[in-house]
Amino acid sequence: PADPGGSRLTPPRPPELEFVLEADSERRRRGHGPRVAFAGRGPADPEHRLRGALQLPRQREPRCASATFRLH
């Protein structure tokens, strides 16, 4: 649809779910190092944490995220 000024409106963006996967959190709370390293993590994230986001275009439409990690 167009607005009264003649410019086009952009369609609304679907909601997005941001998530964080964190390994060995209890172990790290006790002062020990993590035993897991996630592959594909961002450069700012420590090896035991993986961040991501999933777009949710419609209700009841399943969305999945996968993670690969290495056990030290």
The total number of structural domains that make up the chain = 1
Tell whether 8 is covered by a domain: no
Give the largest Cα separation in the chain, rounded: 62
In a domain, 1, yes or no: no
**Which of 48, 42, 46, 44 is closest to 69 using CA atoms?**
48
49 lies in some domain: yes
For 39, the domain range is 16-58+67-71
Residue 9 covered by a domain: no
Contact of 1 with 7, CB cutoff 8 Å? no
Q: Model's pTM, two decimal places?
A: 0.71
Whether 47 maps to a domain, the answer reads yes
Report the DSSP pairing between strands 16-22 and 68-71: unpaired
Specify if 45 maps to a domain: yes
Residue 5 inside a domain? The answer is no
Residue 31 forms part of a structural domain: yes
- The tens place of each residue's pLDDT in the chain, 72 residues long, gives 555 666 788 888 899 999 999 999 999 999 998 899 999 898 999 999 999 999 999 999 999 999 999 998
